[in-house]
Chain A
Amino acid sequence: MKIDENYILKTIAGTPVVMPVGEAAEKIHGMIKLTPSASHIWQALSEGKDYDEVVSYMTALYPDTDPARIKADLDGFINKLRDMGILTD
């Protein structure tokens, strides 16, 4: 899984946001606000972690959360990124 390099994660005023740059800025006007957990997933994907590694990473970050819920949230986020053309295999 690879995040398109035309999308970059920044934290502005304490809020993680994804900003489209270059060619992506011509397709998406504005920016995408992320929740803190989504920004952790984004960071893990940016570092080149594969699906299982991201699950382990998120489980370690959120030990009190049901692993099934973590997986479901991760799947939802990954699907959203794929639909938007931000994440490719």
Chain B
Amino acid sequence: MEGKIPVKELMPFLEAAFAAGKTFTLPITGTSMLPLLVAGRDTVTLSPPSLPLKPGDLPLYRRNDGAFVLHRVIYVNNGAYTMFGDNQFLPEEGITDSQIIGVVTSICRDGKTFPVSDAEYVKYVSGKLKNPEKRFFRRRLRYKLHPLKVRLLGENPNEPSKDSVQLVHKTGEAAVELLRALVNDETPNLPPDLDYKALYAFCEAHRITALAGEALQRASAVPSDAAEAFTKQMFKTAARHAAQERECQDLSKAFSAEGVPHCFLKGTAISAYYEKPDLRFMLDLDVLISKEHFADAEKVMLGRGYIRGQDDGKDIEYIKKPFLIAELHHELKYDYDPGEKYFSKAFSSLKETGSGTALEMTDEDFFVYVLSHTAHHFLSAGTGLRSIVDDYYLRKKLLPVCDAQTLCEKLEICGLTEFNRTIEKLTDYWFSGGEADKLILNTAEYVLSSGIYGNRENAAINSLMRYSGTDADKGAYFLKRLFPGMEMMIKLYPILAKAPFLLPFTWVTRIFKSVFSFGRISAEAKTIATASEAQKSERDSFFKKLGL
């Protein structure tokens, strides 16, 4: 960063200040201490440390690799400190007194200076010391549910203005044009008054920025800042993909060495069908493991430096810094998944790949599985453009090698025949110049107005739709949301599987916790309260036409 002086170069001045019994003012760089400290705006005053440090202290320390870091002490264990940046979700363990250089005694934040004994600051710090290890899951959930309309239109997604809706449509159409140009290897034809900032936000919400960026390379008159933003995302996505791809290979070898049969699912397998797999964003790696080998698989994960994360009843999440996330599934079960029953015995129909204990689905099963997962997202909260690009590449490269009769039979078994036809027509309309009837236009609209994992409005309407009727059923819906059934509660509180009598206590805990998500709940309540019978019936009719 221009004008930024590395801490390393400031060290002689800091040491001289401390030797003279003075404090040292350090400018903030980076984002790891947001929202407290903002780079370029804030500074901290460092004093020689009074050791040992205590939880809440904010020291400057030197890592073993020589990097200087200003992060907060969260735990002290046998003389070793565990550090977290206030804006980070993974801990750094094993920092010792010998690495501590100084400790923050006052902060100059947005022009206002206060000591670390300031009552408001002390309150802020005590909040940061509570359950820091849960930050990752809170952040990921927020990330997944963040609706596209909030990103594009501000904080009131339920009542977008006419102009705002037109902006979504215009940027959506431009994004589709970029994808059309990408898959056909053509130059995109973009409108001259295109809002590139909105286009970038749209592509991010649909996780297609790197793919769109590839097509944008061929476009003319792209503003340089927009071109730079898209290109940066291409590099980031490719680096992430390269690391994930290697991790898949290494994990497969490690599972094979331990005799653990395994099958990579979803994005890991889908990206292989892309012309440029590097540019398909993957959040995590999904692996199917049989229940009897799960304990061995977990040993492999922990042995490779992963830490165990959330267990939602059907899969367990494992996390490895800086961004590797792997989900080990022991069953392919999702809410509102048309193929749930068929894929409940998926493991027994996998075939050997010839590489160690790695298994794979048959071509027909894999196509139906991906389509079924798209249908699951349609029925839950919606899904974005990336799912349709996935479908396009599978139709182009996987379908020709599938046995047509077997495929039709499997689609029929899963109740996906009509949905398959509609998605085929949609990809044809968007990417190959096909015709669109009203159903295709409605489907296109539903996809464009959803982000990659849908949005809150869809989630609420789709849930409410399952409660036919009017106001009495809105009440029933809220009761169900307040007091979910045992199956849902076990996902949130796995202890219930062993101690079901704790259900009332977990309901109360969940309601108490939800007070801190007031904004989200308020938005959902507003959507439910204003959802008309016409909206519900329109959605119901839409899903029926899709055969879902």
Query: A residues near B, CB below 8 A?
Result: 6, 8, 10, 12-14, 17, 19, 21-22, 25, 29-31
Residue of B nearest to A31 (CB): B239
Q: List 22 A-B contacts (CB under 8 A).
A: A8-B242, A8-B246, A10-B278, A12-B235, A12-B238, A12-B278, A13-B214, A13-B231, A13-B234, A14-B217, A17-B235, A17-B238, A19-B238, A19-B239, A19-B242, A19-B243, A21-B242, A21-B246, A22-B243, A22-B246, A29-B322, A31-B239
Complex alpha-carbon distance, A28 and B167, angstroms: 41
Distance of A73 from chain B, by nearest CB (Å) = 25
Q: How far is the CA of A67 from the CA of B252 in the complex (A)?
A: 45
In the complex formed, the residue of A with least CB distance to B324 is: A25
What 1/0 mask marks residues of chain B from 321 to 356 whose CB sits below 8 Å from any chain A CB? 010000000000000000000000000000000000
CA distance in complex: A13, B243 (Å): 18
Return chain B residues, CB-CB under 8 Å to A21: 242-243, 245-247
Q: What is the interface of chain A mostly: helix, strand, loop, or mixed?
A: loop
Q: B230 — nearest CB in chain A belongs to which residue?
A: A13
Cα distance, A30 to B235, chains bound together (Å): 10
B250 part of interface (Cβ distance < 8 Å): yes
Q: Which residues of B contact A8 (CB under 8 A)?
A: 242, 246
Contact with A along B379-402 (1 / 0, CB 8 A): 000000000000000000000000
Q: Counting CB contacts under 8 A, is B213 at the interface?
A: yes
In contact, A13 and B235 (Cβ under 8 angstroms): yes
Give every chain A residue within 8 A of B243 (Cβ-Cβ): 19, 21-22, 25
B242: which A residues are within 8 A, CB to CB? 8, 10, 19, 21
Query: Among B238, B245, B247, which residue has the most Cβ atoms of chain A within 10 A?
Result: B238
Closest to B213 in A: A13
Chain A nearest CB from B231 CB (Å) reads 5
- Nearest residue (CB) in A for B67 is A29
Q: How far is the CA of A21 from the CA of B322 in the complex (A)?
A: 12
Question: Whole-angstrom distance between the alpha carbons of A65 and B212 in the complex?
Answer: 38
How many Å lie between the Cα of A39 and that of B235 in the bound state? Answer: 17
Task: Point out the residues of chain B lying under 8 angstroms from A6, CB to CB.
Answer: 246
Q: Which of B205-228 contact A (CB under 8 A)?
A: 213-214, 217
Chain B residues with CB under 8 Å of A14's CB are: 217
A29 contact set on B, CB distance < 8 A: 322
Q: Enumerate chain A residues within 8 angstroms of B231, measured Cβ to Cβ.
A: 13
Residues of A within 8 A of B239 (CB): 19, 30-31
Interface centre among B217, B239, B278, B322 (most CB of A within 10 A): B239
Distance of A30 Cα from B213 Cα, bound (Å): 20
In the complex, A11→B277 CA distance in Å?
12
A17 partner residues in chain B, CB cutoff 8 A: 235, 238
CA distance A29 to B239 in the complex (A): 10
Q: How far is B68's CA from A76's CA once the two chains are assembled, in angstroms?
A: 31
A75 and B246 CA atoms in complex are apart in Å by 30
A13 to chain B, nearest CB (A): 5
